Structure 1
Amino acid sequence: MSPDGHRLVTTVATLDDASTKYVSALWEIDPAGDGAAHRLTQGADSATAPTFDGSGSLWFIRKSAQDPDADPQAALWRLPAVGEAERVALRPGGVASIVTATASDRVLVLADVLSRTPDTDADVRERRQTTTTSAILHDRYPVRHWDADLGPGRPHLFDVAHDGRLDPVVTRPGAALRDAHVAIAPDGDVAVTTWRTGAPQAATRTALVRIDLRADTPTEPVTLRADPDADFFAPTISPDGTRVAFVSESVTTPTTAPMVTVGIIDLATGAVTEPAANWDRWPTSVSWSADGTALIVTADDDGRGQVFVIDATGREDREPVRAVTSTDHCYSDVCVHPDGTTLFALRSSPAEPSHVVRIDIADGAVTPLPGPAELPALPGTLEELRTQTIDGTPLRAWLALPHGASEQARVPLLLWVHGGPLASWNAWSWRWNPWIAVAAGYAVVLPDPALSTGYGQNFIQRGWGSWGFEPYTDLMAVTDAAEADPRIASERTALMGGSFGGYMANWIAGHTDRFRAVVTHASLWALDQFGPTTDGADYWSREMSPEMAVENSPHLYVADIVTPMLVIHGDKDYRVPVGESLRLWYELLSESGLPAADDGTTVHRFLYFPDENHWILKPQNAIIWYRVVLAFLAQHVRGETVDLPDVLGDVEIAPHDPM
C-alpha cells in the first residue's frame, strides 16, 4: 500500500504461453472497490516484490524471462507516481529483496556478494563463469536450504543512491543476513534486521540488530535483542520510529515444544515488553496500527487464520487482545491504511484461493475487492467435522464432499495429512488441492491432529516428541468420525500425506491395514538417517532425542506394511533428502509385508522427479503428480484402471487383491 493509502498493488502469477512456467506481474487493486483491477507490468518478464517509498514511487524486482540476449539477473526497477517505469540498478548476482521507508526516499536492497568486497564482485563472478567453476567451500553450518545450495555468495545490505549506485551499509556481514527480515524507520534513518550468528554444536541463533543509515560509510550493527534460548523474526518499526515489534520463538528441546510470542523493544532504553504474554496463539505476522497504539497480528485459530489487534500501550482499560475477523478464512499480507480504521489483506481458505479484501478494524466487516480473476466454481462443498480423541481432546477437520454425495450415492474417502507438523489446514493450496480429488468423486478430510497450530500451546505439546502416538490416534479418530458419515463409503478409504504428512502416512501404513492405498510424498522414513542429513539438522537435534527417534521411526515397522504405496520424491529436496524415499522404496520391495514378487514386479510405485524439490512446482510436473496419484487411487480404492500419461513411458498401475 502506498503511504497515502490511495494505491494497493499485489503480485499475480499466471502460466506462460507454453504452460511450462509461471510469470509474475504487478496488478493494482482499487482500495475503494469501485474500479476494476488493472495490470501494471506487461510482457513475459516477471515482476515481484512491490513496495512504495515515501514519494509514492513503486519499486519492484524484474527478471527477463525470454530474451536470450538479456541479462538474466533480477534487476531493480522503479515506477514513479507520474511517468514510466525505469531500471535503477542491474548488478551481477541480481537483487533478492527490497525495503523502503514510508516517509522518505530511503531504499535498501539485499543482494548476494561473491567477493570480499562489493567492488570486485563482478570480476570474480565473471572468472567463476568463464572457468566453469562450481565448487563451494563452506566454513560454517548450514550448507543447504530447501532446494538451494548456500554460497559461495553471501547476502549484503545496500543503500540505493539516487543514481542507482548500491552502497553497502554494513561491513562484511558474512552469513548474518541470510533470509534476513529488514525494517526501516519511516524517516529512513535507522534499519532493524534479523542477524544470524553461530551457536554451540553447529547451531545458529537469530538476533535483532540496529543499523545507522545516516553514516557515509559501512557501519557495525548494534545488537538490540539476542538470547541463546530464542530466535527473533519479523521486526517492524513503529510509525514514530521509537519502538520495534517482533516475533520471538523459543529454542526447543526434545521434551519442550517452541513458544511463539510478540515483543516490543523501546529503541531509546532497550526495554522489552510482551504485550500479549498470556495469549495462547502463535503470531504469524505483525504490523503497527497507524497511530502506533496497537499491533495488527495474524495467527492460526481453530482451523482458520484470523486478524487480531494487540494493545501496545499497556493501559489496563484496553483489551490486551481482540479478534478482528471471525470468518472461515486465513488472512495474510496485511497492509494498514493510514486512516487507522481500515486494513487490506489477502484472504484464502480451503475453498477459496487468495484474493484481496478490505477489513474494517472496528467491526471486523470484510469486503472482497475486484481482483484479476473471479473465484473458481467448486465441484463440491466444504463442511466442518468435529470429534474428540481417545484422551478427550477436541479435534476438528474440514471435509470436502462432491456434489451429489448421499447415503444412496456414497463416495470413497481420502485422509490428507498436512506437513509441518506445526501447521494447519486453513488456507488454499495449489499443490495439495482437495478439489481435484473431489472432482474425481472422492471425499477429502483435512484434519488438524496434535502438533497443529491454532489450538493452543497444550495441543502442540501433547504431540511433541511423540509423532507416532498422539498424532496417530488423532488421525484415526478423525477418520472414524468421517467414515461414520452415511455419505462416505467407509470400506473404500485411502491415505495421503506430504513431508510430516508423509511421515504419518508411512507410520500409519505400518500400524494398520484399514486403508486401501497410501500415497507418501517427500516423506521421512528412517529418523536416525534423516536427522543428520536434513538441511536443518541443528533444529532436528532438538526435536527428538536418539531414543525418541527410534521409538517414532516408521522404518522399524516395514514388515507390517501390507498396503499398496505410492512413493513420491524430488531429487532437489534438501529438507527431506531423497535418500529417505530411496531407502523406503528398497525396504518396501524387499522387507515389507507386501514385497515385490520373485520376478521383481510390485504393486507399489515410485514417482521420482529429478528436477523438483520438496514441492512439485513446474506446471507440467504438477499435472503428472495429480494424474499418477488419481490413477493409483482409482486402481486400489475403486478397482478401476486409468491410463497414465504417455510421457511416462510404458508403465501402468498394477492391481492388487488383498485376499
Structure 2
Amino acid sequence: MTAFDDLDDYLALPRVTAIALSPDGNRVVIAQSTPDEEGTGYVGALWEVDPHGQEPARRLTWGAKGESGPVFTATGDLLFTAARPDGTDSDGAPAALWRLPAAGGEAQRVVSRKGGVRAVHAARAADRIVVTADVLGRTDGDDQRIRDARKKHKISAVLHTGYPIRHWDHDLGPAEPHLLALADGPDAPLSDLTPGPGGALREATLDLAPDGTFVVTTWSVPGPLASRRTTLVRIDTDTGLRTVLVDDETADVFAPAISPDGTRVAFLHETHSDPETAPRITLRLFDLRSGDTTLLVPGWDRWPTSVVWRPDSGALLVTADEHGRAPIFQVALWADVPTPLTTDPAAYTDLHVAPDGTCVYALRAAYDAPPHPVRIPLDGSGAVTALRAPAELPDLPGRLTELTTAADDGTPLRAWLALPATADPDAPAPLLLWIHGGPLGSWNTWSWRWNPWLLVARGYAVLLPDPALSSGYGQDFVQRGWGRWAKEPYTDLMALTDAAIELPVIDADRTAAMGGSFGGYMANWVAGHTDRFRAIVTHASLWALDQFGPTTDSAWYWAREMTPEMAVENSPHLYVADIVTPMLVIHGDKDYRVPIGEGLRLWYELLSESGAPAAEDGSTVHRFLYFPDENHWVLGPQHTKIWYEVVEAFLSEHVLARPRALPEVLG
C-alpha cells in the first residue's frame, strides 16, 4: 500500500513550498505545509535543514495558522509572514511580518497592518527590508482610515477606471499592491515607495539590490485595446524616485535579477503574440551604467523560466523547460548557448546560489518525486545531493516510463507514461489520456493538483503527452500549433495515444481522456471528433470560443492571439451533435480565467444537442460536478477528495464497467 491508495493518506502528505538560504551560506530553511486539524486547509511551518544533507531537519515555527515566505536578512535573521492573533489582533488577523533572530529566542513581530503583508524582500548585504502589501488609498497613510470606513458601513463596491477588473479567482481593487520600506524597530512606520500605483504592481516580480539602495520591479502599463504590458523600473528605496529601465511596446519584461555587484539586471523578455506568430521568451541583460540591453545566448531555442546570478557577477543560472524536464543551465554572459548543469529527469525551481559560488540550493521535483530540497555543485559534475527534509519522499504505486513516436508530419513526439505495478501483457491496464493545460506548458514536474499516481493506484496507465504548443521542444514546436488548436495539438495527442495502445501492457479497448483548462478544451474537441474513448472528463474547459474571448479575465490576450475566424474554426461547441461519449463536466463558479458560462453552456448543449442527449425523463449518461466556491483549480482538500472520487467513479462505470458509489456528502 502507498499513500496514493487512499485519498486521505494522499492529502496528508507534507508539501514543501519554498526554500531560503542565509547570506553566509550556512543555513537552509524550507517551508512545508500539512493539513490542518479539520483537514479543510493547509498550515505551513518553517524547518531548518542541514545544507550538507547529514543531520535531520529541525522545526523552527509552530504557529496555529502557519508561517510562509521565509527570507533571510543580511545579518542572518529569518523573516516570514504569519497570521498570529495576540492581544491586539482579532482571530481573523491578516498576515504580519515576523523576525526570528539568528541568535535565537522567540519570533518578534516587525510589521502588522490591517491590509496584511503579501511578501518580504531583504537585501543580501545591507540592513534594508521592503515589503509588498495591499493599500487602500493613494498611500499607506490612507489605508487604515479607508478600511475602517468600508468595514463600518459594509461597503464592498469597487469603481474601476481601467482593465482588468478581476484575475484568476478574485476581484481586483479597491486595494492595490504597493512597495513599502521598513524603518528599524517593531511596528515601525513604513515608507510608501510607490504612492498611487494603480494596478502597476499587480503580479509584480522584483529584486532588491544587494546593498538595499534600489529595487528593480515590473511595472504594468496600459496598452491598446484595454491591454496591459509590463516594463522594468528602478525605484530608489530612500526617496521612492522611479526610473524606467526597459520599456518595449512589443513585449512584456519580467523576472528581474540584479547582479551581485549592482551594475546589471538580467531579465526575461516575452514578445507579444499575434494570430500568426507565437510568443518567444528570451534572456536579456540591462546595463545600469550604460543603459544598453543585450540579448543573451542568442543561439538557444528554449524558453527560460527563472534566472539568478553567480556571486562573481560573471555568469547566470537559468531554468527552462526541456523535453519533459526543467533543468538548470549555466549561462556565460557572452556565450551563444548555455551549458546544462543538471541532466537528470527532473524540474528545478527556487534557485539560491551559495555565496562562495561552489553550489546552488534548489527545490527538485519530477513526475516520480514531489518537490524536495537539494544541493547541486557548480563544477559541472551533474551530481545532486538530497537534503534531509522533514518527511521522506512517498513510495509510488507504479513506475514511470517515457514514450516516443512521430506526428503525422514527422515531428518527434514524446510523453510520460505512468504504469501501475500490476500492468502486464497478461493483465493489460486501461489507459487514461491526461491532457495538460496552458497550452504553453509541459508535463515536466510533479503536481499535487493533477496527480497521475492517484489514478495509477486504481489500476490505470496514465499517458501525459506534450503535443504541439508544448514548451521545451523549441520555437517551431510551439509555432506548429499556434492558432491551430484543433489541428496539430489534436493529431499529436491521437498519435501518442496510438503509440501507447500498441504496448502489450495497455488494454486498447478500455481508454478514457481527460484534461483541465486548455486540456479541457482539447477533451471537448476530442469528444466531438472521435468515439474511441469510453469516457471523457473535462475540467474548467473552453467550449464556445467566441463567448469565451471577451469574458475571460485577460480578454486582450485572447484578442491578440485569435481572430474571430480562428475562434469559429477551432470551437468545440460547433461539433456538439457529434458527441456520443459520456462526459463528466467539472467547473468552479469562481473561475475567472475560464468563466462558469463555458461550463453552463457545455452542460446545456450536451443534454439538448449532443449525440447522447438527455432522455425524455431527464436521465443522462453525462454528469456535471459543480463547485460554487472553487476557482480554475480545486484547492480545498476535501473538495479535491470529492473531485477524485467523482472522477474515479465516472471512469469506473464507463471504462471498467464497474459502478462505484459516489461520496455520501454529495447527497
Partner of 1:524: 542
> Unaligned regions of 5+ residues in structure 2, if any?
1-20
Indicate the residue corresponding to 2:215 in structure 1.
Answer: 191
Q: Which residue of 1 aligns with 2:518?
A: 500
Deviation at 1:232, TM superposition (A): 0.6
Task: Say yes or no: does 1:205 pair with 2:229.
Answer: yes
Report the Cα distance in structure 2 between the residues aligned to 1:488 and 1:443, rounded to whole angstroms. Answer: 7
Deviates more, 1:48-57 or 1:450-459: 48-57
Q: Verify the 8 A CA contact 1:44 1:65 in the aligned structure 2.
A: no
**Partner deviation per Cα, 1:152-177 (whole Å, 9 max, x = no partner):** 01111110110322111133222111
SS at match of 2:218: strand
Q: CA shift at 1:117, angstroms?
A: 2.8
User: Could you tell which deviates more after superposition, 119-128 or 529-538?
Assistant: 119-128
Say whether residues 1:11 and 2:31 are aligned partners.
yes
Given that 2:296 and 2:336 are in contact with CA atoms closer than 8 Å, whether structure 1 keeps it comes out as no
The residue type paired with residue 324 of structure 2 is G
Q: Post-superposition shift, 1:404?
A: 2.2
SS of the aligned residue for 1:111 comes to strand
For residue 116 of structure 1, the aligned residue among 138, 147, 152 is 138
What's the counterpart of residue 70 of structure 2?
50
Output the CA distance in 2 between the equivalents of 1:644 and 1:637: 16
Contact kept in structure 2, 1:45 and 1:65, CA below 8 Å = no
- Residue matched to 2:40: 20
Query: Which residue in the other structure is 2:315 paired with?
Result: 294
Structure 2 residue aligned with 1:653: none
- C-alpha distance in 1, partners of 2:215/2:656? 59
SS of 1:201's equivalent in the other structure is helix
One-letter amino acid of the structure 2 residue matched with residue 8 of structure 1: V
Q: What's the TM-score, normalizing by structure 2?
A: 0.95
Q: Compare 61-70 and 371-380 and name the one that shifted more.
A: 61-70
Moved more, 467-476 or 34-43: 34-43
Summarize deviations over 1:180-214 as a string: whole Å, max 9, x none: 11211111111111000011110011000011123
Post-superposition shift, 1:341? 1.7
> What is the identity, as a one-letter code, of the residue corresponding to 1:292?
S
SS in 2 for 1:301: coil
Q: Is the 8 A contact 1:344 1:358 kept in 2?
A: yes
- For the residues of structure 2 that align with 1:70 and 1:608, how far apart are their CA atoms? 31
Counterpart AA for 1:566: L
Distance (Å, rounded) in 2 between the aligned partners of 1:229 and 1:624: 44
Paired letter, 1:489: D
Deviation (angstroms), 1:333: 0.7
Specify the alignment match of 1:344 in structure 2.
361
- Give the match's secondary structure for 1:222: strand
Q: CA deviation at 1:426?
A: 0.9
Query: How much has 1:38 moved relative to structure 2?
Result: 1.5
Give the aligned partner of residue 455 of structure 1.
473
Quickly say closer, same or farther: Cα 1:16–1:71, change in 2 above 3 A.
closer
The 5 Å alignment of 1:39-118 reads 39-64=59-84, 69-83=90-104, 84-118=106-140
In 1, the alpha carbon distance for the partners of 2:284 and 2:430 equals 47
Q: Are the structure 2 counterparts of residues 65 and 496 from structure 1 closer, same or farther at C-alpha, using a change threshold of 3 Å?
A: farther
Contact 2:375 2:386 in 1 (8 A): yes
**2:139–2:192 contact (8 Å) kept in structure 1:** no
Distance in structure 2 (CA, Å) of the matches to 1:66 and 1:370: 34
Q: Give 1:401's aligned residue.
A: 419
Q: Structure 1 residue 234 and structure 2 residue 255: aligned?
A: yes
Q: Deviations over 1:417-469 (max 9, x none)?
A: 00000111111111111111011011000000000010000000000000000
Q: 1-side partners of 2:362 and 2:504: how far apart?
A: 39
The equivalent of 2:343 in structure 1 is 326
Q: 2:590 & 2:462 partners in 1: Cα distance?
A: 29
Residue 511 of structure 1: aligned partner:
529
Distance (whole Å) between structure 1 residues aligned to residue 328 and residue 142 of structure 2 = 46
The whole-number CA distance in structure 1 between the counterparts of 2:125 and 2:279 is 37
Aligned counterparts, 1:260-659, within 5 A: 260-312=281-333, 314=334, 320-362=337-379, 363-649=381-667
Aligned to 1:165: 189
Work out the CA distance in 2 between the residues paired with 1:250 and 1:588: 38
In the TM superposition, residue 43 of structure 1 has moved relative to its aligned partner by 3.1
For structure 1, list consecutive stretches of 5 or more residues without a partner in the other structure.
650-659
What CA distance in whole angstroms lies between the structure 1 residues aligned with 2:489 and 2:574?
A: 18
Offset from partner CA, 1:302-335 (integer Å, 9 cap, x none):
11010001112x2xxx674100001011111111
Task: Say if 1:45 and 1:66, in contact at 8 Å, map to a contact too.
Answer: no
- Take 2:63 and 2:23, find their aligned partners in 1: how far apart are those partners? 28
Contact conserved, 1:10 with 1:27, CA < 8 A, in 2?
yes
Distance 2:146 2:422 in 1: 64
Paired residue type of 1:294: A
Partner of 1:638: helix, strand, or coil?
coil
164-173 or 249-258, which moves further after superposition? 164-173
Q: CA RMSD in A?
A: 1.2
What's the offset of the Cα at 1:66? 11
DSSP-derived class of the 2:655 partner? helix
Rounded to whole Å, the distance in 2 between the matches of 1:370 and 1:29 is: 6
* Deviation for aligned residue 1:131: 1.0
Q: Which moved more, 1:606-615 or 1:81-90?
A: 81-90
The 3-state SS of whatever aligns with 1:278 is coil
Question: What is the distance in 2 between the residues matched to 1:64 and 1:572?
Answer: 28
C-alpha distance in structure 1 between counterparts of 2:169 and 2:363, whole Å: 27
CA contact (8 A) 2:318 2:329 kept: yes
Which amino acid is 1:44 matched to?
A
For the Cα contact (< 8 Å) 2:165–2:172, is it kept in 1?
yes
Shift in Å at residue 71 of structure 1? 4.8
Cα gap change, 1:625/1:534 in structure 2, threshold over 3 Å: closer, same or farther? same
Which whole-Å CA distance do the structure 1 matches of 2:66 and 2:347 have between them? 26
- The answer (yes or no) to whether the contact 2:299–2:336 under 8 Å persists in 1 is no
**Cα distance in 2 between the residues matched to 1:182 and 1:61:** 18
1:119-162 deviations in Å (ceiling 9; x for gaps): 12111101101111111111110001100110001111110110
In structure 2, the residue corresponding to 1:384 is in which secondary structure? Answer: strand
Compute the displacement of 1:65 (Å).
Answer: 8.2
CA distance in structure 2 between the partners assigned to 1:53 and 1:66 by the alignment = 25
State the alpha-carbon separation in 1 of the partners of residues 118 and 651 from structure 2: 41
Distance 2:619 2:32 in 1: 45
Three-state SS of the structure 1 residue aligned to 2:362 is strand
Q: What is residue 275 of structure 2 aligned with on the other side?
A: 254
Shift of the 54–111 alpha-carbon distance from structure 1 to 2, 3 Å rule, reads same
- The Cα of 1:540 is off from its aligned counterpart by 0.7
- The DSSP-based 3-state class of the residue aligned with 1:240 is coil
% identical equivalent positions? 60
Of 167-176 and 67-76, more deviation after overlay is shown by 67-76
Partner of 1:656 in structure 2? Answer: none
Check conservation: 1:160, 1:167, Cα contact below 8 A: yes
Paired residue total: 642
Partners of 1:44 and 1:66 within 8 A in 2: no
Structure 1 residue aligned with 2:14: none
What is the alpha-carbon distance in structure 1 between the residues aligned to residue 92 and residue 27 of structure 2? 31
Contact 1:64 1:71 in 2 (8 A): no
- Give, in whole Å, the separation in 2 of the partners of 1:454 and 1:166: 43
- Aligned-partner Cα distance in 1 for 2:139–2:362: 40
- Say whether the 8 Å CA contact 1:450–1:460 is kept in structure 2: yes
What is the CA-CA distance between 1:639 and the residue it aligns to?
0.6
Paired with 2:623 and 2:632, the residues of 1 have a C-alpha distance of: 18
The answer as to whether partners of 2:415 and 2:463 remain within 8 angstroms in 1 is yes
Q: Distance in 1 between matches of 2:86 and 2:260?
A: 41
Return the alpha-carbon distance in structure 2 between the equivalents of residues 197 and 181 of structure 1: 14
Q: Which amino acid aligns with 2:153?
A: T
The structure showing larger relative contact order (alpha-carbon pairs under 8 Å, at least 6 residues apart) is 2
